[in-house]
Amino acid sequence: MGNMYQEMGICKEVEDFCQDIAKDLAERFTEIDRIAEQNQMKVIHAMQKERVDATCFAGTTGYGYNDMGRDTLEKVYASCFHTEAALVRPQITCGTHALAIALSANLLPGDELLSPVGKPYDTLERIIGITESPCSLAEYGVSYRQVDLLLDGTFDYDNIAKAITDKTKLVTIQRSKGYQMRPTFSVKQIGELIAFIKKIKPSVICMVDNCYGEFVEEMEPSDVGADMMVGSLIKNPGGGLAPIGGYICGIQACIDRCAYRLSAPGLGQEVGASLDVMRSLYQGYFLAPNVVSGAIKGAIFAANIYEKLGFKVIPNSTESRHDIIQAVELGTAEGVIAFCEGIQKAAPVDSYVTPEPYAMPGYVSDVIMAAGAFIQGSSIELSADAPIREPYAVFFQGGLTWYHAKLGIMMSLQRLYEKGLVELV
């Protein structure tokens, strides 16, 4: 194995340092495998219950009336995530689009949207109108209120209670940290927050942005009271095979409105040809629990390596996991760039290109992204991205297999080591 890593460009010092750390993680990985097994059963059970068969994989064209594969897949999602209904479509272009649909379908002029967990993900700023934009919710007369987290990363219950008014229609709860250094919330924490909000105002719709969270725990936010749960198929639930798509699972009344917003009032879920993507969406969902477990192992490995080298890592080396994201605060733009170069060099696709920071649509500062993916932009595949701004943290995620994630982290360290940005202790 030593020779193989050397052929990949990893020196002996880096390899020894990393293998020592990997050795100590066996017990931790057993628990990850246990959760993956539970979730694998959950997915298979849902597929059996909804009687998935080979005809589900046939594509439809045109309007897509009576698309059995599409309708059954939506039942599988609803069944697995324990919701009344689901909208799972290739016409949902990404996670941001799914969130925009869920919000704009369920908020009307005069309503207020509340985020009780601080600033939402960058691409939501223009959807909400925090940053002015044509077609934002603000332009349509939907107001927005935000309650920041307390300094220790917990919910500010006093101010959340004060922020819930007659106008509050929908509460958006982002599970994953996104590009922030706050903790990701556990499903249990999300459940407590939802219970608190519903006690004050039972009619409020609680939506969870579940991006990067699917199959990390045994339960999902839909098991603890979320009325809508939203995510991207080029992240966890697509299992690396879905070439496009997003999902919204939740109560029937909310999903009906989402379907009308996605297609048109009156049409809803009855139109939308699946073309030829159904097999990938099913097979990806089937593989997702295992793929997610590999990604979590990679994240834990990264945390242990970079923490040992003295960097701040979120989550830290021993904390429990609630999404697949690992943040490493490298402290300098050079460190962030070197890390991303290493991830790129480990890729099966596009390994020879050098990633560089640039301005991305929907993001406020320049962003560097490293990925060599089979599906463009897929972040369940090994990828790293970082906004070039304080505190110069890199966000690392994915890896369709644990072995690839491991190689990526080793290559990132190799790059930092070559550039003299770390000393191996």
Which residues bind to ligand PLP, rule: CB under 6 A?
94-96, 121, 123, 174, 176, 178, 209, 211-212, 232
Q: Which is nearer to ligand PLP, 75 or 235 (CB)?
A: 235
* CA–CA separation, 332 and 370 (whole Å): 17
Query: Which residue bears the tokens 């689901």?
Result: 86
CB of 45 to ligand PLP, least distance (A): 27
Residue (121 or 417) nearer to ligand PLP, CB: 121
> Which residue sits closest to ligand PLP, CB atoms considered?
95
Shorter beta-carbon distance to ligand PLP: residue 18 or 211:
211
Q: What is the DSSP code (8-state) at residue 265?
A: T
Q: Least Å distance between CB 241 and ligand PLP?
A: 16
Min dist CB 176 to ligand PLP, Å, is 4
Least distance CB 179 / ligand PLP (angstroms): 8
Nearest CB to ligand PLP, comparing residues 21 and 187? 187
Q: Which is nearer to ligand PLP, 99 or 197 (CB)?
A: 99
3-state secondary structure the chain: CHHHHHHCCCCHHHHHHHHHHHHCCHHHHHHHHHHHHHHHHHHHHHHHHCCCCHHHHCCCCCCCCCCHHHHHHHHHHHHHCCCCEEEEECCCCCHHHHHHHHHHHHCCCCCEEEECCCCCCCCHHHHHCCCCCCCCCHHHCCEEEECCCCCCCCCCHHHHHHHCCCCEEEEEEECCCCCCCCCCCCHHHHHHHHHHHHHHCCCCEEEEECCCCCCCCCCCHHHHCCCEEEEECCCHHHCCCCCCCEEEEECHHHHHHHHHHHCCCCCHHHCCCCCCCHHHHHHHHHHHHHHHHHHHHHHHHHHHHHHHCCCEEECCCCCCCCCCCEEEECCCHHHHHHHHHHHHHCCCCCCCCCCCCECCCCCCCCEEEEECCCCCCCCCCCEEEEECCCCCEEEEECCCCHHHHHHHHHHHHHHHHHCCCCCCC
Identify which of residues 77 and 212 has a Cβ nearer to ligand PLP in the complex: 212
CB closer to ligand PLP out of 15 and 122 = 122
Nearer to ligand PLP, 242 or 409 (CB): 242
* Cβ at position 95, least distance to ligand PLP in Å: 2
φ and ψ at residue 171, rounded to 5 degrees: -115, 130
User: Minimum distance from CB of 233 to ligand PLP (Å)?
Assistant: 9
Q: Residue 72 or 222: which CB sits closer to ligand PLP?
A: 222
Nearest approach in angstroms of CB 209 to ligand PLP is 5
Give me the least distance between CB of 203 and ligand PLP, in Å please. Answer: 25
For residue 13, the minimal CB distance to ligand PLP (Å) is 34
| 109 neighbors 140 (Cβ within 8 angstroms) | yes
